[in-house]
Each structure stands twice: as C-alpha cells, then as structure tokens.
Structure 1
Amino acid sequence: MGWKEDLQQASFRGVKFDCVSTNNSISKSLAVQQAPYSNDAKIEDMGNDAEKISMRIFLSGTDYLIYLDALKAAFSMAGEGELIHPIDGIKNVHVQNWNIVHGTETVDGCDIDVDFIVAKAERKTLFIPRTLPPEIVYTHVILTPAAALQSELEQLKDKDPNLFFKVINRIRNGLQTARRILGTVRTTIDNILSPPDWAVGLVDDVVRLATFELTDISAISKWQSMIDRVKRVSKIFEKDDEIDSAAFKQLWRSVSVASSVAAAQAIVKQTRTDMSQNRDVKVTPIDLAIVRRQVRKEIKQAIATEREITQTQALQSNIDPALQVAHYKTLASDVHDQIQALIETRPPIRNTPILLPCTTHWLAHQLYGDMNRAEEIKRLNPTIFNLATLQSGMELITYAR
C-alpha cells in the first residue's frame, strides 16, 4: 500500500490547499572535538535537530487570491500552528519562510514555497500508569445485518417457499464448510432461521480456538494461521450466487471482520496476561503492529464494499450501509487504541549493577537473551558517555526481565 492510498487534505491553521510536493529533512546534531594536527575526531551525538518540512503549494482558480490572502495571514501569525501534512497527518509547526511565485503560464493561480520547522514534541513520560481499554465488543457489527437477514427470511418463507429452502440449504452448507475449515464441532444444531444466533456462534467458535500460549510455536505464527483460516471462511460465499441477497452478504462480511477482531483480541489478552504474571513476553511491538495493520486493512475493505451498495439495493434488502460503516469505524478505532496502549505499556525499571567489564550488547544478551536490546539500554542511560566499555561497579537503568 503506497502513500497515495492514505493522502489527507493539506491545510495550515485551517486554510486548505493543494500540495504539489513535500520534503521532510532531519539532521543530526554532532559535537566534534579534534586535536590540532590530528586526523582523528571525537564525535558526540547530541541528538536530532528539529525536523524541517518544505512544501510546494499550488493555488488555482478564479478565486485563488482569497486563499492566497488567507494563507499569507496564517503564515504571518506568531507562534506554532497546526499543519495537516498530506502524508504524515497532524504536526505542530512554526513557519520559517515562504516564497510566492507567479508565472505567465498560470494566469489564475500561483505557486508557494514554504518551509516549516516542527515544534518540540510533547515529551512522553517513560512510565505512565495507563488503563488499558476494555475488551472490544464486536457483536454490534453482526446484530444489525443479522436482524435484517432474519426479517428477509421470514418474508421469503411466505412469498417464495422454493427459494426460501434454497437459501436455507445454502446457508447450512456454508456453515458446515466454515466449521470444517475451523476444525470445530457443534454439539447442537444451528437454527438457520435465527441469523443472530448462528452468526455470533460462529465467531464464538473462533474465540475458543484462538489460544496463544507461548509454549510451542510463537503466538504470532499461531495468530497468522488462525487468520488464514478466517480468510478461507470469508471466501465460502465469494462466488456470486443470485440467491445471495445484499443482507446476507453484509452479514457474512461482518462475521469475517468480527472473527479477525476476536483473534486479535485473543492475542492481546494473552500478552496482557503474560506481562501481568512477569512471564517472558515474546509478542513484540512489531508483532502487535502487524496484527493491528491486518485487522484494520480488513475493516477498510469491508467499509469500501459497504459504500458500493446502492440506495436501491439497501431499500430492497432493508439494510443500512451507513450505519454499518459507522460500526466498522468504531471497531477500527477500538482496535487501534487497545493495541497502541499495549505497545506503550512498558515493564518496570530497575537498577542493574555491572559485576564484570562488558559492553551493552553483552549486557543485553545476559539480561534478556537478545543483544539487539542494547539500543534500549542506551536510551535509558543517556548520561553515561561511553556505553561500549561498561566497568564493574557501575549501575545502569534497565527494564525488568
């Protein structure tokens, strides 16, 4: 997925504009100490300089002067302002300079070159007590389309019994195939005439299967296997059949999305449990970000499909695509907030004494079994000048195991 898929409307202090190009630049602040007649320099990394954003803005139209005057006023205001970057989103910036270019090729329009400097980001405390969001309730995306399908089946039973039995058999065969893919067995018979019951029951089957104890294979591998099965289930009714109504397709989409959310919820719950019991947490922030991206991608596809439903189809099947889109957006936001809160949750810190001379890579390997966490130790100890030669007797701040 490229940047063009997620472009945002650019604006500054609420004044919208078209952006032709952007250039974000970040430089390091380095303190160089060098003795006379020496080719060797001692370089100390002092961190990053403020991020700079250069934009080429294009204004056009017979009324472009109105927007030009508004932008000039916004640029002239003192203090930081809110910039909506077309790719990076919201940033608080200061205007450094701007240049307005009029040319003979564009009569009703102009180009503006402007340089912004990103204001100092609000520093996050390393360890802040957070209340993680409660478990996500995903049944609301199922119940509304399920009720629409149930009403449709009741009407079809009286209107066209032959078609009614065809629809019932198709749903029954599909559910049997779905449970065969998931590897579950029902002790009771599905009530096909009650879509809310069998739809929620199918998602409950996914929940029961979604266990991610870290005893054999990695949790992220088990989650990926579960998602692959959910994808196969979602494609059971992919073949376009004339008896598949818009209400039924909408319900099956919601079941697929809810199943993916349920699987993500399970891996988040397992990670929380491992952290609370001080067990080795093998689900990395990158793994959690992958889970979030996959779920949000599926929700995004479902939203796009809902928006393709015409008003005529919606009235015929008594469904509300706009309401379903709102449910999906809420679900996507909940998934994002829950996983982001988990990513930002950090283990407690401790003072670790250095018993033998070593390097941070050796210490990371000794503490966590992962030498790549040496960078983490460096970030927690910014006052120690040379972390390459740790001496016995020193104490470093580290995350608890």
Structure 2
Amino acid sequence: MSWSENMQDASFRSVRFDVINTRDSVERALAQHEYPYLDGADIEDMGAQPRSLQLTAMLWGDDYESRLQTLLQALDKRDAGDLIHPIFGSMPNMQVKVYQVNHEAENVDACTLDIQFIQSKTGNPFFVTGYPTSQADAIFNKIQGMIDNANTLIDNALKPLRTARSLMSKAKSLATAALNMVTVFKSEVTGFISSTTDFINYPAAFFSDLQSTLSLKSASSQSSAGKSVGAYSTATPTSTTSTDIASQVALQTYAATPGLIMSDWSAVYAQAKSVASLPVDLVTGEKEAPVAMPSRTTTADIAELITLTSLAVTIELTEQASAILSEDTLTAYMTPDDVETIVNATRQSIQDTIDQHRTLYAPALSTISSSEQPLGLEYEPVISALKDIALSLQTLGDAVINARPPLTKRTVNRVANLHLIAYEWYGDFSRADELQRLNPKLRDPNNLKPGDIINAYSE
C-alpha cells in the first residue's frame, strides 16, 4: 500500500491547504563522554529531541488571498494545534516555529508557504497506523495460547467431580447437560461429528467440539457471498481456480448490497449467542432436552459448562470479527459505524465471559492454600488473555477506521443529489454509493437541500 492511496487533505487548526513536499526529521539527544588520553568517547542516548516537520504549502486560485489570510491567522495563534499531515495523518500538539510566504512573478494568483512545525509534547509519533492483518494475526496467536490455559483450568475444575461421591449430583447434572448439547448439535448442525459425550472426563475434547460446532453454525448462517469471500481468504496466494471467480462474484454482491456484510455478521452473532444460551435453556426448559435433566438441577449446578460455552462463543466471535476487519475487500464497503458495531459487540461478549469466570472461580482465591486444585491461580491467565484480546480487537478496529481518510461533516450548498455532490466534492460521481453508506438515515438522496449536513470522507 502506497501513500498515494491513503493521502489525506493537509490542514492546521482545521484550515486546509495543499502540500508540495514535506521533510520530517527526528534528531537524537546524545551525551558524549570523553576521557583524557583515551581515544573515542562513550555515547549515551538521552532520547529523541522534539520531532520537526517542514512542509511547503501552496495556495492558488482567484480566492487565494482570502484563504491565505485564513491560514495565516491559524499559524499566528499562540500555542500548539492539531496538524493533519498528508502522509502520516493526525499529529496533535504541533507548534508553529517559523513560516515564510513566497510570491513569484511567474505564478499569478498563487503563493507558497514554507512552514516549520515542532512537537510540543513528548510521545507524539509521526506514524501510528496499525496494519489490520498483523493485528488479526496477533489476536489469533493470543487465542491459541488462551485455549491451552482454558483447558487446564476446566480440567482441574472437574477433577473433584470424578471421585467425590458428595459431588455426584453436580457431576450428573453437568454430564447430562453436556450430552444434551451434543445431541442438539447432531440434530441441528450439518457436518457436526462429536469426539466425546463425556464432559466430566474429557472437557478439552468437548471444548474442541464446541468450537467446531460454532464454526459450522457461522458458515451455515452466512450468505453465499460471505462463504465465497471466506473461501477466498483461506486460498493460497497463487490460486487462480474457481475460488477466485466465486470470490469476485461475492465482492460484486457486497458492492451492490453493502448492507449484506453487516447482515452476515448479525446472523453469525445470533447463531453464536444461541449456543451461549443453550446450557441455561436446557435447565430452564426454554429448550426441550432430548435426555431428561436430573430433577432439581439449577444453573449453579452447570456453572462450569455455562462458562466454558461462553468462552467458546467469545472465541468464535473474536475470530469472525478479526477475519472481517482484516479483509480489505470487506472493510472497503463498511462505514466507521459498522466497524464500531462489530468491535463493541465482540468486546461485550469478552466482558461477559470475564465476568462469568470471576464469579465462578474468584472464590477459590480464599482457599488457595488448602485446595488441591489451584483454580484461584489458573483462571487469572484466561482473564488476562481475554483482556489482551479485547485490546487487540480495539486496536484492529482503530486501524481499520484510521486507514480511511478522516470522516467529517460537510454542508450541501445547493439543490443536488448524491451523484452530483460526489462529483463536486471528489470529481468522481461513482462515490455516491460511498456517501449513501456513510449516511444510512438520509431520507431522500436525490433531493438534497442547501444547508443539509452529511457525513463524508475528507478526501
């Protein structure tokens, strides 16, 4: 990806201008320690000095003088301001150090400005854009590490149930609920194959079955476009088979109906949440149990199963969200609100799972010294991993939003439709579809009035 694809409109204190060139520099503060009769010196790196940015701005046109005055007023204001760099994007806390206005006889109705900015606060980097693909890879790696910790936790949590007679009633409730879940999956999920029905002795295998079920349900709930794009994303880079053709057709479908992306996500989310509620529904009778549940079974009796199912659902939603947000061909048709919807829903699922783990396992901290199973210590790595995953997902969402030009609100200045506005603002009438996606609540896109304010990308 080159800067020509992501160039942003430069501005300072919201005053826009064109840029001919930029020169961005960083100088290290080095302390040089020299010693008598000893060649050389010890160099101590004291950190970076304030970042410096020099750019050449250009204004032209019949109204360049008025725009020049507006820009000069912004440059003359005291203290630092927000700068939008054409390459690096938002750079807050930039102080004007010096500027120079240049007029040349050959350039009528035009001028250039040499402006130098300097960083006014610490920790103000030039370039902070994250790459969605790398963030998705990081999320996947964190999930794999968390699964190992979760398997250790649930295995140790169920160990007492395998031998203690006093816990036989609880063990029977858990085993029956898990058996019912497997039976339901076999009847409702095409392609599901169970590796175990013995949750008490083989919880890790049951957890793997849960993840397989959720993956199959997600695939079945998506539209044909979603399935084709998913197949394309897993194909090898050199593949030029029918998978590529199907993916192109799918992308055309998404381009023609952008709302289908969020519709697919909503279907996946609904399917996952139906699995999350299944253990409770079997106990309360909301879902008919193929195998009769033991009498007087409560949700507290199957708390471990409920918590593990919630974790599997959270993993599935996180993987689906990261897959969508790391695919450029999909995010091209998504609005910032769409990205926020996916990230917020997934982070809420993560928070719910964290709360369930704390409720179930936190009391074990008070008996950590006397208990044979260190559950009070083993649930913390799972929660820590979930927190890291939530942060990575938030970073991924930010990277997707920041990869696009800044979203602004612009005022319509005459009677027009979206196609005319797109041509007037961008020189490309085909971006009317983009404006429509950014303004889903727009009542009549063919009858815009002067003074109407709509969302639009700055570039």
Residue 250 of structure 1, aligned match among 307, 315, 320: 307
The alpha-carbon deviation at position 173 of structure 1 amounts to 0.8
Residue 267 of structure 1, aligned match among 321, 324, 341: 324
Assess, with a 3 A threshold, how the Cα gap between structure 1 residues 165 and 29 changes in structure 2: closer, same or farther: closer
Question: Residue 132 of structure 1: SS of its match in structure 2?
Answer: helix
The alpha-carbon deviation at position 92 of structure 1 amounts to 6.3
Question: Residue 299 of structure 2: SS of its match in structure 1?
Answer: coil
Counterpart residue number, 1:200: 208
Question: Residue 190 of structure 1: SS of its match in structure 2?
Answer: coil
C-alpha contact (below 8 Å) 2:272/2:313 kept by paired residues: yes
Assess, with a 3 A threshold, how the Cα gap between structure 1 residues 49 and 172 changes in structure 2: closer, same or farther: farther
Residue 144 of structure 1, aligned match among 149, 157, 173: 149
Counterpart residue number, 1:286: 337
Counterparts of 1:79-94 in structure 2, within 5 Å, are: none
Partners of 2:350 and 2:73 lie apart in 1 by 37
Counterpart residue number, 1:187: 193
The unaligned stretches of length 5 or more in structure 1 are 1-26, 31-41, 51-77, 81-90, 95-117, 348-357, 376-387, 389-397
The alpha-carbon deviation at position 336 of structure 1 amounts to 1.7
The alpha-carbon deviation at position 43 of structure 1 amounts to 8.2
Assess, with a 3 A threshold, how the Cα gap between structure 1 residues 302 and 124 changes in structure 2: closer, same or farther: same
Percent identity of equivalent pairs:
13
Counterpart residue number, 2:29: none
Assess, with a 3 A threshold, how the Cα gap between structure 1 residues 180 and 297 changes in structure 2: closer, same or farther: farther
State whether structure 2 residue 366 is matched by structure 1 residue 366. Answer: no
Counterpart residue number, 1:174: 181
Which segment is superposed worse, 192-201 or 171-180?
171-180
- Bigger helix share: 2
Question: Residue 144 of structure 1: SS of its match in structure 2?
Answer: helix
Assess, with a 3 A threshold, how the Cα gap between structure 1 residues 359 and 226 changes in structure 2: closer, same or farther: closer
- The one-letter code matched in structure 2 to 1:250 is T
The alpha-carbon deviation at position 186 of structure 1 amounts to 1.6
Q: Which has the higher contact order (CA 8 A, sep 6+)?
A: 2
The alpha-carbon deviation at position 286 of structure 1 amounts to 2.6
C-alpha contact (below 8 Å) 1:139/1:200 kept by paired residues: no
Counterpart residue number, 2:86: none
Counterpart residue number, 1:298: 349
Partners of 1:228 and 1:200 lie apart in 2 by 20
Partners of 1:312 and 1:205 lie apart in 2 by 31
C-alpha contact (below 8 Å) 1:142/1:200 kept by paired residues: no
Counterpart residue number, 1:221: 263
The alpha-carbon deviation at position 226 of structure 1 amounts to 1.0
How many residue pairs end up in the alignment?
Answer: 265
Residue 336 of structure 1, aligned match among 394, 408, 411: 394
Partners of 1:345 and 1:194 lie apart in 2 by 45
The alpha-carbon deviation at position 189 of structure 1 amounts to 4.0
C-alpha contact (below 8 Å) 2:214/2:313 kept by paired residues: no
The alpha-carbon deviation at position 344 of structure 1 amounts to 3.0
Residue 162 of structure 2, aligned match among 157, 164, 177: 157
C-alpha contact (below 8 Å) 1:145/1:250 kept by paired residues: no
- The one-letter code matched in structure 2 to 1:201 is D
Assess, with a 3 A threshold, how the Cα gap between structure 1 residues 299 and 93 changes in structure 2: closer, same or farther: farther
- The one-letter code matched in structure 2 to 1:203 is Q
Assess, with a 3 A threshold, how the Cα gap between structure 1 residues 166 and 250 changes in structure 2: closer, same or farther: closer
The alpha-carbon deviation at position 285 of structure 1 amounts to 3.2
Counterpart residue number, 2:236: none
The alpha-carbon deviation at position 332 of structure 1 amounts to 0.6
Partners of 2:263 and 2:72 lie apart in 1 by 37
C-alpha contact (below 8 Å) 2:339/2:401 kept by paired residues: yes
Partners of 2:388 and 2:430 lie apart in 1 by 40
The alpha-carbon deviation at position 171 of structure 1 amounts to 1.1
Counterparts of 1:16-165 in structure 2, within 5 Å, are: 132-135=134-137, 136-137=139-140, 138-160=143-165, 163-165=170-172
Residue 235 of structure 1, aligned match among 277, 281, 284: 277
The alpha-carbon deviation at position 233 of structure 1 amounts to 1.3
Partners of 2:159 and 2:130 lie apart in 1 by 54
Partners of 1:229 and 1:131 lie apart in 2 by 26
Assess, with a 3 A threshold, how the Cα gap between structure 1 residues 219 and 243 changes in structure 2: closer, same or farther: same
Residues 278-328 of structure 1, C-alpha deviation per residue, up to 9 Å, x if partnerless?
xx9323333122111111122223333434456434556742343222111
C-alpha contact (below 8 Å) 1:199/1:255 kept by paired residues: yes
Partners of 2:204 and 2:73 lie apart in 1 by 55
Partners of 1:308 and 1:207 lie apart in 2 by 27
C-alpha contact (below 8 Å) 2:192/2:213 kept by paired residues: no
Residues 130-167 of structure 1, C-alpha deviation per residue, up to 9 Å, x if partnerless?
86324222243343333333344444233235653442
Question: Residue 135 of structure 2: SS of its match in structure 1?
Answer: coil
C-alpha contact (below 8 Å) 1:303/1:325 kept by paired residues: yes
- The one-letter code matched in structure 1 to 2:354 is I
Question: Residue 237 of structure 1: SS of its match in structure 2?
Answer: helix
TM-score (norm 2): 0.46
Counterpart residue number, 1:36: none
